Amino acid sequence: MGARFAFAHPHGQISISNIRRHAGIIEVAAAFLGAMVAGFLLMAPLDLGRTAEGSVLQLDLMVLNMPRAAAAGAVFAVVTAALVIALGKRTAWVVALCSAAVLLVDQTWNRDAVETGSMTTVNYIDSIFSGILLGALAVAVFGKRRANTAFLIGALSSIVIADLTSLPAPGGAAPSAIERASSGSPSLWLLFGAVVALAVGVAVQRNESTLDDENADLPIGPIFAALLLVTSTAVVTEWFVRHAGTSLQLAAATVVILLAAGLAALFLPGRDGTLVLLAVAVANAGSAIVAVPRPDWTEPLPLVLIIAGLYAGRRWPTPRLAILGIAALSVFAALTAGIGRQNQLVPIIGITAVGLLIGYSFGVVTPRAAPSVMAAIAVLLVPCLVVAVRGSGFGRIAYSPRWYRAVDQTASAVPGWTALAVTAGCGFGIYLLYRLRPEHSTSAPLEIARRPVPQG
């Protein structure tokens, strides 16, 4: 009887039904793996092992173009989130799967990019499709608490871990697994796992209506916000490193960045701009700390701290506390600049504070739409003003001539004080935003005219 009943139903239908029972777990895994792969490829596309075989010119061109590639990926992330939000979550899952598959193919067939002289091209391809993957995933999991949390943990932890990675010394010990992932292209098994998880994630999605009342309009505001902030950051930082970097020039660059951040916050609905302003502040403060040298056991620490910060932010949502914490971190970075490399306790304290504050900042604000989340994450992807200040001695936007944190870099308190100035400006911007926007405001004063999507 049972056998006849089983054969009465298509085999594929039974399999999909069984898989859908675990849809929540599948979506969590896909969101985490997809976001982590995209974050690593955007922040650490330079494989230190393979690039050693390339010419100095190829390596120099790649490092020089890394900020622009990251900016391109950040813009694609926000634009993708804004476009797929009108097409439904199932479409977002499909777009995420396709972009992850492109990344897997690119990493598989371009392992010899050093010898062929195409490192810069591969870097741009990885950055653009990683941005598309992040933007599509943000929409796919938005509104699903567990999957959305996994997405944030994967994206933020990969960005922070890659940002804090030390430049390995020549002939040093073999790096750990997390060091290999955060100092070059992710392992193929990690990419393959993300593609498989996303494919299963697509399979468990039920048919949904393409449009609904909440996303009938194309969200132009986040696109304008991202374009304004990413473009201004890229232009200002490149301009700063090309010049002598005087105090007056630094002050002018800081003002431009703050004005762009303030305007970008106004383009977002309600008080969503708070998250963008917090991201600008914490990105600069996090880039100002002395992060190396530190013990190997601290490599996975940012992952745990971001989880703790997200929990604390959702439990006690106070943007003012976030700004005060970021300001304290900036002061700590300035005061410990001269002793950070002689005492490993300083880097440990620094990365602990960075992980907690980034997690808290993204937990303290609950944006109304996925593009607003992506606009804030885009801020963390683009090298900020403090990175330009630290790299002005190299004549490029970088922590070191090979991009990563250098143990022997000249110590200076200027990045810390610059981060403090940016944080103070962002805090003032949040104060003005709260004054301009009532608590239940649904639209922005700088609302762009949007063409409604025709209803079927």
Residue carrying structure tokens 């800081």: 254
Averaged pLDDT, 84-89 = 86
* Confidence band, pLDDT 50/70/90 cuts, at residue 259: very high
- Note the pLDDT of residue 444: 45
pLDDT for position 117: 54
pLDDT exceeds cutoff 80 at 413: yes
What SS3 state is found at 261? Answer: helix
CB of 120 within 8 A of CB of 277?
A: no
d(CA 133, CA 144): 18
Residues 6+ apart with CB under 8 A from 172: none
Closest listed residue to residue 281, CA positions, set 79, 399, 416: 416
Residue type, position 304, single letter: V
Q: Is 70 exceeded by the pLDDT of residue 115?
A: no
130: pLDDT strictly greater than 70: yes
Amino acid residing at 351? I
Minimum mean pLDDT range among 188-202, 205-219, 297-311, 345-359 = 205-219
Non-local CB neighbours of 73 within 8 Å, separated by 6+ positions: 42, 127, 128, 130, 131, 134, 381
Complete DSSP assignment for 131-197: HHHHHHHHHHHTT-HHHHHHHHHHHHHHHHHHHT-B-PPTT-PPPPHHHHHHTSSPPHHHHHHHHHH
Residue 7 banded pLDDT, cuts 50, 70, 90:
very low
pLDDT at 104 > cutoff 50: yes
Q: Which is nearest to 83 in space by CA: 126, 139, 130, 29? A: 139
Q: Which two tokens stand for residue 205?
A: 């999605």
Q: Which residue has the tokens 């499909």?
A: 94
Confidence of residue 159 (pLDDT cuts 50, 70, 90): very high
Share of the chain above pLDDT 90, in %: 55
Tell whether the model's pLDDT for residue 14 goes beyond 50: no
- What is the C-alpha radius of gyration for the chain, rounded to an integer number of angstroms? 22
* Per-residue pLDDT at 215 exceeds 60: no
d(CA 375, CA 285): 19
- Mark out the alpha helices in 268-369 (DSSP H runs): 273-288, 301-315, 319-335, 345-364
24: exposed, middle or buried (Cβ count in 10 Å: 0-12, 13-18, 19+): middle
From the number of C-beta atoms within 10 Å of its C-beta (0-12, 13-18, 19+), residue 453 rates as middle
Side chain identity, residue 452: P
Angle between helical axes of 11-20 and 23-43 (0-180°, round to 10): 70
* 97 pLDDT above the threshold of 80: yes
More reliable by pLDDT, 229 or 183:
229
Question: Looking at the predicted structure, is the pLDDT value of residue 211 above 70?
Answer: no
Judged on CB neighbours under 10 Å (0-12, 13-18, 19+), 2 is exposed
DSSP code, position 369: S
Q: Is the dihedral of CA 264, 269, 274, 279 positive or negative?
A: negative
Rounded-to-integer distance, Cα 142 and Cα 292, Å: 35
Q: Which of 37-51, 87-101, 301-315, 426-440 has the lowest mean pLDDT?
A: 37-51
Q: What are phi and psi of 452, to 5 degrees?
A: -60, 145
Q: How far apart are CA 395 and CA 327, in angstroms?
A: 28
Q: How far apart are CA 15 and CA 41, in angstroms?
A: 34
Residue count of the chain: 456
CA 30 to chain centre: 17
Residue range 3-12: average pLDDT?
A: 44
Asked whether residue 10 carries a pLDDT value surpassing 70, the answer given is no
Mean pLDDT of the chain: 83
pLDDT of residue 341: 78
When pLDDT is averaged across residues 179-199 and rounded to a whole number, the result is: 78
Written as one letter, the residue type at 335 is L
Kindly report the pTM of this predicted structure: 0.88
pLDDT at 219 over 50: yes
Q: How far apart are CA 162 and CA 128, in angstroms?
A: 18
Q: pLDDT tens digit string along 27-50? A: 999 999 999 999 999 987 666 555
How sure is the predictor about 297, in pLDDT bands with cuts at 50, 70 and 90? confident
- 3 state SS of 54: coil
Q: How confident is residue 292, by pLDDT bands cut at 50, 70 and 90?
A: confident
Residue 180 has pLDDT above 60, yes or no: no
Q: Could you report the per-residue pLDDT of 236-253, keeping only the tens digit for each?
A: 999 998 886 788 999 999
The pLDDT value recorded for residue 195 is 95
Q: What are phi and psi of 400, to 5 degrees?
A: -145, 170
What is the rounded CA–CA span in Å between residue 29 and residue 35?
Answer: 10
